[in-house]
Amino acid sequence: MINKEPDFLCPYLTLIKILREENQISEANKVLENAYAQALNLIIDESGRWPGKLEASWIPNWHIIITIFEKAIYLWETGKTDGSLDLFRKLLKTNPNDDFGARNYVLGILLDFDCREFHKWVNNNENYEAVLEWFDENQKKFSDEFNHDPSKVNP
């Protein structure tokens, strides 16, 4: 499927999940790199600029957003927090409604959380209210980052 429809990123994401489950981490990372490169090819213009909007409310964007999200998580897991923050901030800027929770990850990085533990905690459906409360309480420490004006989120 990847060879037939390289712009459709869901098969990449499925393959990454399978490879990780089979502990083929190196191969999963290679597939992630390819998927991420393809995602960027789909959204950046000739000058290398991201789109003004990449909203999750438009379903065809989901596979792109999820791929970039996965890349940002990978960067955080591997200690490349500057690159991870950059991607999460770009996702937040292009999707001000933050349908995928990029702001939580930005705050988690700024508070120096462990990526895997944070990812597990924030994705536990039973913690939804706790995550919202945690964000509301802790985002105040970074008022420049979370200024509540989506058009002014750090790019």
Per-residue pLDDT of 7-52, as tens digits, reads 779 899 999 999 999 999 999 999 999 999 999 999 999 999 999 9
Asked if residue 144 is part of any domain, the answer here is yes
Asked if residue 138 is part of any domain, the answer here is yes
Asked if residue 18 is part of any domain, the answer here is yes
Q: Left (φ > 0), alpha (ψ -120 to 50) or beta: where does 5 sit?
A: beta
Asked if residue 68 is part of any domain, the answer here is yes
Asked if residue 1 is part of any domain, the answer here is no
Total number of domains constituting the chain: 1
Question: CA of 67: how far to CAs of 43, 71, 140, 146, in Å?
Answer: 12, 6, 29, 24
Note the pLDDT of residue 6: 66
Residue 38 to residue 103: CA distance in whole angstroms: 24
Asked if residue 3 is part of any domain, the answer here is no
Residue 101 to residue 114: CA distance in whole angstroms: 17
Asked if residue 5 is part of any domain, the answer here is no
Residue with tokens 């705050």: 107
Asked if residue 2 is part of any domain, the answer here is no
The model's confidence at residue 59, banded by pLDDT at 50, 70 and 90, is confident
Residue 123 to residue 118: CA distance in whole angstroms: 8
**Structural domain range at position 49:** 10-152
Question: CA of 22: how far to CAs of 16, 18, 28, in Å?
Answer: 10, 6, 10
For the segment 60-84, what is each residue's pLDDT rounded down to a tens digit? 889 999 999 999 999 999 999 999 9
Q: What is the 8-class DSSP label of residue 80?
A: -
Cβ–Cβ under 8 Å, residues 111 and 118: no
